[in-house]
Amino acid sequence: MPSDPLGRQPESLAPAAASQLASRRILAVTEEELQRIVLDIHDGPVQKLFAAAMQLDLLHAHANKLRASERDAFRSDLDRISQLLESSLQEIRLTLGAFRHPEFGDRDLITIIEDVIEQHRSLTGMGVEFGVDGELCDVNLQVKIATYRILQEALSNVYRHAGVNRLAVHVSCDSRFIYLEVIDTGKGFEPPPLEGPGGSEKQEHIGLRGMRERAELAGGTIQVTSSAGRGTRIVVRMPTDG
């Protein structure tokens, strides 16, 4: 069927297929925007923080010229500022390191998942047990992107909130779906409703909402099971055909 010069969808394209196509485009565009944000942070705030740290080094040198009574108080203030700057830079390094682009199109899903896990081990020192049930099916670019970003957020949540230094990641697939599980035995929590009239809009739940939205854009679903003192289990299911 010839294409419409105005870019309208052919009548033969079902609404569900059109919606799926739009979701794939949104996921790809979101990834591109994320990479631009990472570059902007690196080229903007990070460079300014480094410049501020260098200025502090100069002030430390200047402190040697002060009288002893003034020098100690001055150095104490400088040390506090230096610690705040270093802490901020470390947090930004963690964020930028986690969100570097892994060349999704040129790598298979297992390699991409292993890359996420290795990054997490390196940045946090946590132990991650990784298991694969059989051979994984081929998946499209959108599923690779969604899996990568969802796993990053899940691992980050365990590190920040679970109070444990180990967790498990498991991947499997059947003829229709690929399954990603992230399991920890940490503090646990009461999962909030993420959609509908009672859906949580709290800032602390933005990561969970982001995981759900990424899964949905790839045609999948996410289930979070948790309770206080009994750990958390996240199961992501996405179609093998995207």
At residue 71, what are phi and psi to the nearest 5 degrees?
-60, -45
Say what the pLDDT of residue 178 is: 93
What does the domain layout of the chain look like in residue ranges? 36-97, 106-239
Crossing angle (nearest 10°) for helices 109-124 and 141-157:
20
Does the pTM surpass 0.75? The reply is: no
Compute the average pLDDT of residues 119-142: 88
Architecture of the domain delimited by 106-239: 2-Layer Sandwich (3.30)
Cα–Cα dist 168/183, whole Å: 5
pLDDT band at 41 (very low <50, low <70, confident <90, very high): low
Lowest mean pLDDT among 8-22, 54-68, 134-148, 162-176: 8-22
Share the mean pLDDT of the chain.
Answer: 76
**pLDDT tens column, 51-81:** 777 777 777 677 777 666 666 777 777 777 7
Q: What is the mean pLDDT of residues 195-208?
A: 65
